[in-house]
Amino acid sequence: MDPNKRPDDMQRINTPELAQAFIDEQVQAVREQAGDGKVLLALSGGVDSSVVAALLIKAIGKNLICVHVNHGLMRKGESEQVIDVFQNQMDANLVYVDATDRFLNLLDGVDEPEAKRKIIGGEFIRVFEEEARKVGDEVDFLAQGTIYPDILESQDGVKAHHNVGGLPEDLQFELVEPVKLLFKDEVREVGRALGLPEGMVERQPFPGPGLGVRCLGAITRDRLEALREADAIVREEMEAANVGAWQYFAVVPDVRATGVRDGVRAYEWPAIIRAINTVDVMTAEVPELDWALLKRMTDRITHEVPGICRVAYDLTPKPVGTVEWE
């Protein structure tokens, strides 16, 4: 039997009872595979790695070593939530690496989107590799949040399936991939049954380079901070209004616009609200947001976020635009 093929008769996990049965089965399987060995996991805070972390904590407790790399480009409260959920609530063995300065120093003055993406991706692997080397001698297994669409896509040649990817050859670990036969909705169901917070289980897709590709052009710390705050307001208001859009966030370009604040001339950045609906992300439509909601977000962002005096709503579908600006 091909371990990377989902059996035709495998039931869709769509109830808490089925999720619990899956958890019991996987806890047993992971215990058999890992024994008393130590397992390393890159925990981004995304749905897949979070569910794998929670599952492995249940199975092997402190023998799981989670590494969370904060590249300084996370959304507001995200790294804090990872620490709160996994360290404080689940008592996990969590290594938290604040690499903000490393990333922002490397990105200083770099304005070309692909160059930014390469720097962020490359540095991420280096930081994780350093942490892996620190514990390398004791570790025998590498856990990954591979899910079934990753396997299907790599088989179809759509994209190379690299979850942690790029670890040096001399760091050879056996893989632990407990959710590799599941679809995304099933991973979410399992996450709920494991007691993960709803905000984590229903988390929107977030690019690996994070806010780095939404703080357009050369990133500066003050504009990155303004973006993080504006983005938090967009998410809060869209959630409160229960819009149900597929993905929404803020973007802050590196241009400034004239405004008036407290009777004096202001010269500050604009924030752009981006929201889309999609089925497969190959194409996307822009939802017709309620006018009062748009006005509320504009009012809050321009009053609560230092450095932003203007707000625009991006009406561009994909194609011709992509979802992200960079």
Asked whether residue 49 is marked as a ligand-binding residue, the answer is yes
Tokens of residue 218, six digits: 């050369």
Minimum Å gap between C-beta 156 and ligand XMP is 17
Residue placing its CB nearer to ligand XMP in the complex, 232 or 257: 232
Give the footprint of ligand XMP on this chain (CB under 6 A): 205, 207-209, 247, 281, 318, 322-324
| Cis omega (within 30 of 0) for bond into 319 | yes
**Residue 255: what residue type?**
V
One-letter-per-residue 3-state SS of 149-175: HHHHHHHCCCCCCCCCCCCCCCCCCEE
Minimum Å gap between C-beta 263 and ligand XMP is 40
Phi, psi of 103 (to 5 degrees): -70, -50
Residue placing its CB nearer to ligand XMP in the complex, 168 or 205: 205
Question: Which positions ≥6 away from 124 have C-beta within 8 Å?
Answer: 69, 71, 208
Residue placing its CB nearer to ligand XMP in the complex, 260 or 320: 320
Buried b / exposed e over 96-134, threshold 16 CB at 10 Å, is ebebbebbbeebeebeebeebbebbeebbbebbbebbee
| C-alpha 133 chain-centroid distance | 24
Minimum Å gap between C-beta 229 and ligand XMP is 20
Could you count the other beta carbons within 10 Å of the beta carbon of residue 183? 16
Minimum Å gap between C-beta 318 and ligand XMP is 5
Minimum Å gap between C-beta 225 and ligand XMP is 21
Asked whether residue 79 is marked as a ligand-binding residue, the answer is no
Residue placing its CB nearer to ligand XMP in the complex, 40 or 323: 323
Q: How far apart are CA 143 and CA 167, in angstroms?
A: 13
Minimum Å gap between C-beta 241 and ligand XMP is 21
Tokens of residue 78, six digits: 């995200």
Asked whether residue 191 is marked as a ligand-binding residue, the answer is no
Asked whether residue 48 is marked as a ligand-binding residue, the answer is yes
| C-alpha 92 chain-centroid distance | 20
Which residues sit opposite 93 in a β-bridge?
Answer: 65
Say which residue the tokens 């300084």 belong to: 72
Asked whether residue 85 is marked as a ligand-binding residue, the answer is no
Residue placing its CB nearer to ligand XMP in the complex, 60 or 234: 234
Minimum Å gap between C-beta 246 and ligand XMP is 8
Minimum Å gap between C-beta 275 and ligand XMP is 12
Tokens of residue 123, six digits: 């540095």
Residue placing its CB nearer to ligand XMP in the complex, 264 or 282: 282
Q: How far apart are CA 212 and CA 276, in angstroms?
A: 20
Is there a contact between 278 and 285 (Cβ–Cβ < 8 Å)? yes
Residue placing its CB nearer to ligand XMP in the complex, 37 or 207: 207
Asked whether residue 46 is marked as a ligand-binding residue, the answer is yes
Angle between helices 16-34 and 184-193 (to 10 degrees): 90
**What residues are designated binding site?**
44-50
**What residues are designated binding site for ATP?**
44-50
